[in-house]
């Protein structure tokens, strides 16, 4: 016969399979055990452009910041959006968007607030610029329209696909959809087509190099 302690352990085990309602995956840094692996850094550290907060303050990413501003401005202009209105959509949701990042990422982001009054102000501007620039990349950085980016696209796309270069999906939804569109509207398929074709082309080139 099981003891009372074992019975309590059974109950605890059964409860452990129930995922808390408020739990969700968060954007975070690559675990230390992966960082310690040889030649793994190339899978999470960008070489030119940072997307999201993890590598934003890396001095090596400064040249990429100028490109992101240019791409963000082009995205706003090409779609006929009002810059201030698009930024407000992010700023109004910043407390909710913060919940998509791990605490250590937010702490890292808040270490330097130069030019900003608060972490929320810095993060909202960062997500606005990075989100608009990423949407421009999704629209233009495919194998047929690479000239629109004014940069070597293969390196750009390698950076965009890295583990620590991530944005919450909600940021992109806030920035691409019109106010009269449903909150449940998905990313338009044409926007993703360039990404799919790019990955397919790069995979084919990789196979040819290995043969």
Residue 76 token pair: 């706003």
**Residue range 183-192: mean pLDDT, rounded:** 54
- Cβ-in-10-Å burial (0-12, 13-18, 19+) of 26 comes to middle
Alpha-carbon dihedral of residues 85, 182, 141, 108, nearest 10 degrees? 60
pLDDT tens per residue, range 65-84 = 999 999 999 999 999 999 99
Phi and psi, residue 53, nearest 5°: -85, -20
Asked whether 51 and 71 are in contact (CB, 8 A), the reply is no
Decide if pLDDT at 144 tops 80: no
Decide if pLDDT at 41 tops 80: yes
CA dihedral sign, ordered 203, 154, 43, 38:
positive
pTM recorded for the entire structure? 0.77
The residue ranges of every structural domain in the chain are 48-210
Decide if pLDDT at 135 tops 50: yes
Least confident of 65-69, 169-173, 206-210: 206-210
């Amino acid at each position: 016969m099981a003891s009372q302690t074992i019975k309590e352990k059974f109950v605890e085990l059964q409860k452990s399979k129930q995922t808390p309602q408020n739990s969700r995956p968060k954007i975070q840094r690559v675990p230390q055990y992966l960082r310690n692996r040889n030649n793994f850094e190339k899978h999470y550290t960008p070489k030119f452009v940072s997307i999201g907060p993890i590598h934003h303050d890396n001095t090596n990413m400064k040249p990429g910041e100028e490109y992101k501003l240019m791409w963000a401005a082009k995205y706003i202009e090409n779609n006929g959006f009002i810059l201030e209105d698009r930024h407000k959509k992010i700023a109004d949701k910043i407390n909710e968007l913060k919940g998509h990042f791990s605490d250590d990422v937010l702490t890292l982001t808040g270490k330097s607030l130069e030019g900003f009054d608060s972490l929320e102000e810095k993060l909202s501007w960062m997500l606005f610029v990075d989100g608009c620039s990423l949407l421009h990349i999704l629209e233009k950085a495919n194998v047929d329209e690479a000239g629109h980016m004014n940069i070597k696209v293969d390196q750009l796309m390698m950076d965009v696909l890295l583990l620590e270069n991530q944005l919450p999906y909600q940021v992109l939804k806030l920035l691409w959809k019109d106010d009269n569109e449903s909150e449940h509207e998905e990313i338009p398929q044409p926007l993703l087509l360039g990404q799919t074709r790019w990955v397919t082309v790069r995979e084919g080139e990789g196979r040819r190099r290995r043969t």
